[in-house]
Structure 1
Amino acid sequence: MPPKADINKAGWEQSEFPILCETCLGDNAFVRMTKQEFGRPCGTCARPFTVFRWNPGQGMRYKHTVICQTCAKIKNVCQTCLLDLEYGLPTQVRDAALGIKSAAPSSDINREYFAQNMDGKLEGNKSLLDSTRTQSAGKEMLKQLARTDPYYKRNRPKICSFFAKGECNRGNECPYRHEMPEDNELSKQNMQDRYYGRKDPVARKILGLNAETQGLKPPEDKSITSLFLSSLPQSATEQSIRTQVVQTLPVSAAPSPSTDANPANAIRSIVHVAKSRCAFVNFVNRNAAERAAEVWSAGLEIDGERVNVKWGRSRPKAGNGKEEVGPVATSSVPVVT
């Protein structure tokens, strides 16, 4: 007769091998790992899980798993670096390109309950993303941004805090890097933000650079909060445009930082000019417009056809004697020329 299960360990996770990307696993074909059952609580759902620890290569720092396998499968990410397993990109970049909305609760309430319910749904599936319907343009964008080779530089030792203070006296024997830390937004990364794809500085940098490459660099005029859609299909209506726009907007575009923020609230108005087959999408603030431009740099499909996306332009100032040309829009009333 099997021993009675411990009721206090209900829902705790046991596993035989971690879910890791090639970079975190390292270039050592004979890597040795230590395994500790229920070694620490998961960094997202807070359930105790099996923790693995290993050295990915000579001169590298020891690494360990930080989230449980259930949470890793829900987002299809590595248990250590929390990057997407297929493309090696932050979840915010992947979800923005594919139009995936996060269903997992990011607050402390119900996180453990949600993870336990997902265990049954994940049986037989590698990830909940397997059945997600996505646009081909988003997949092409991810293929272009994806890192094709392992980036082992990410496994280097951390910076020596004593060296930064000028107090390290171990010299070459110090196991940490003797470099001065850089104080920028990339140095302020958060596990929860990386996992749930919100306000991730690495993702913001990748999306911003891609938008610039595609000709969607944000204009210097901060009052411009509109995007111009051209080459719309003949069948397009204001409702079909609004439906597709809301579906493709990332959660980060929502004006409210709450976990239940609705991207639809980021849109102030949509003005459809059927005769010219164009439309203006006016956003409530500049941040929402920039997040939309980053996502639509991969291409926006409406009624099965790909449309062109450009930034709007501000109205010409009265009495300046100049006349704007091209798509012009403000956050309230657009102007078509």
Structure 2
Amino acid sequence: MPAKHDINKVGVESSDFPILCETCLGPNPYVRMSKQEFGSECKICNRPYTVFRWNPGNGARFKKTEICTTCSKIKGVCQTCLLDLEFGLPVQVRDAALGRKNQAPTSDINKQFYIQNLEKQMADSPDGMSFDSEVANKSGREMLKNLARTDPYYKRNRPHICSFFVKGECKRGGECPFRHEIPEENGMQKQNLVDRYYGRNDPVAKKILREQAESKGMKAPEDKTVTTLLFLGLPTCTEAEIRSSLAGACPWVKPTDVRSLTIVEASHCAFVNFTQRSMAERSAEALSAQSGIEVSGKRAKVVWGRSRPQKGKAAASAGASSSVAATAEASGSS
């Protein structure tokens, strides 16, 4: 009987060549790299790994690998930019479009044991790759192909912005190896490598998914109290089948995240009311990327619910406030 894996014998990882995307590698076919075995700890599994460092081309900054080859193979991402190798998109966008669920644990002990098991699977795999996710759907892949760049985006290899220039204190002038530009306040400055790897709270991914949803008419309502999504064109199905389809398309949605689910058989639709607005927005973006939701073999359309009209005292108070404002405006004009 084989012994259990011992996390104390994980050791280190050594590799002969990094796993990089075409953008990070650069346009030079004769790029020179420096190799340092056990030069740093992987940002994901915290194991010492072989660090590669190189210059992608003229006017670019030196780049290096940030994670080990094992973590790169597990997610199918570049070791430097942590973007998907096939589409060049953030992991959060890829997983949302393909309905993949992140199965990797976050605690150190479980993480090491999980990585050991996947390393064994990759050793037995013919291509040496092993994603920690489920098989993708076709509509999601088509969306990713449309979003993917056709050519490498070498602009991403530019030097970082000079922090001294931003403060007005840089004295190196043209000899400064950093860019002398004022950064744009677009919310993209704070990006965490671990969050980008696991596909969570990635500002770039959120922007891509939001723009994709708005292009398909799935813009989130201004009223933050709206937490309902409508599934239109449903076949004859049960609540359990809809919940199962939702869990497959949006694996992060837990049963407790859905406050209520109402099926209207006469209209072939269903109202899915979420407990939190953030969960409804994330699900709407993912379902729009997947061109709807498939229930019992039929793809249904997904739209946002509408705000409820004010009733009772709320409507009366709103009417009273509007009349007071009108009276004040009239007296002011007179």
**TM-score clears 0.5:** yes
Query: What SS does the corresponding residue of 2:179 show, helix, strand or coil?
Result: coil
Is the Cα contact below 8 Å between 1:76 and 1:126 reproduced in 2? no
Counterpart in the other structure of 2:235:
233
Matches within 5 A, 1:286-305: 286-297=277-288, 298-299=290-291, 300-305=293-298
Counterpart in the other structure of 2:34:
34
- Residue by residue, what CA displacement relative to the aligned partner does 1:257-315 show, whole Å, maximum 9, x if unpaired? xxxxxx33321111111222110010001101100110110221111111111111122
Q: One-letter code of the match for 2:32? A: R
In 1: Cα distance, 2:113 partner to 2:183 partner: 39
- Residue by residue, what CA displacement relative to the aligned partner does 1:113-153 show, whole Å, maximum 9, x if unpaired? 32222211112344323983222111111111112210001
Counterpart in the other structure of 1:204:
206
Is the Cα contact below 8 Å between 1:227 and 1:280 reproduced in 2? yes
Is the Cα contact below 8 Å between 2:41 and 2:49 reproduced in 1? yes
Query: What SS does the corresponding residue of 1:128 show, helix, strand or coil?
Result: coil
Counterpart in the other structure of 2:264:
273
Counterpart in the other structure of 1:218:
220
2:303 counterpart of 1:315: no
Counterpart in the other structure of 2:170:
168
CA drift at 1:8: 8.2
TM (normalized to structure 1)? 0.86
Specify every segment of 5 or more residues in structure 2 that has no aligned partner in the other structure, as ranges: 1-6, 317-334
Counterpart in the other structure of 1:62:
62
Question: After TM superposition, what 4+ stretches of structure 1 lie above 6 angstroms from structure 2?
Answer: none
2:97 counterpart of 1:97: yes
CA drift at 1:171: 0.9
Is the Cα contact below 8 Å between 1:47 and 1:112 reproduced in 2? no
Is the Cα contact below 8 Å between 2:75 and 2:132 reproduced in 1? no
In 2: Cα distance, 1:155 partner to 1:242 partner: 44
Counterpart in the other structure of 2:327:
none
2:138 counterpart of 1:136: yes
TM (normalized to structure 2)? 0.87
Query: What SS does the corresponding residue of 1:229 show, helix, strand or coil?
Result: strand
State the aligned residue count: 304
In 1: Cα distance, 2:308 partner to 2:249 partner: 28
Distance change (3 Å), C-alpha of 1:303 and 1:8? closer
Which segment drifts farther, 159-168 or 189-198? 159-168
In 2: Cα distance, 1:203 partner to 1:161 partner: 26
In 2: Cα distance, 1:160 partner to 1:264 partner: 47
Is the Cα contact below 8 Å between 2:53 and 2:63 reproduced in 1? yes
In 1: Cα distance, 2:216 partner to 2:70 partner: 36
Is the Cα contact below 8 Å between 1:106 and 1:196 reproduced in 2? no
In 2: Cα distance, 1:281 partner to 1:148 partner: 37
Structure with more helix by fraction: 2
Distance change (3 Å), C-alpha of 1:131 and 1:247? closer
Which segment drifts farther, 291-300 or 21-30? 291-300
2:240 counterpart of 1:249: no
Query: What SS does the corresponding residue of 1:268 show, helix, strand or coil?
Result: strand
CA drift at 1:9: 7.4
Q: One-letter code of the match for 2:62? A: Y
Q: One-letter code of the match for 1:231? A: G
| Greater Cα radius of gyration, structure 1 or 2 | 2
CA drift at 1:10: 4.4
Counterpart in the other structure of 2:324:
none
Query: What SS does the corresponding residue of 2:267 show, helix, strand or coil?
Result: coil
Is the Cα contact below 8 Å between 1:272 and 1:278 reproduced in 2? yes
| Residue from 251, 274, 278 that aligns with 1:283 | 274
Is the Cα contact below 8 Å between 2:13 and 2:49 reproduced in 1? yes
Aligned-pair Cα RMSD in Å: 1.9
CA drift at 1:190: 0.1
2:157 counterpart of 1:155: yes
Specify every segment of 5 or more residues in structure 1 that has no aligned partner in the other structure, as ranges: 1-6, 255-262, 322-337
Identity between Structure 1 and Structure 2 (%): 59
Is the Cα contact below 8 Å between 2:32 and 2:54 reproduced in 1? yes
In 1: Cα distance, 2:270 partner to 2:76 partner: 36
In 2: Cα distance, 1:65 partner to 1:94 partner: 21
In 1: Cα distance, 2:257 partner to 2:65 partner: 36
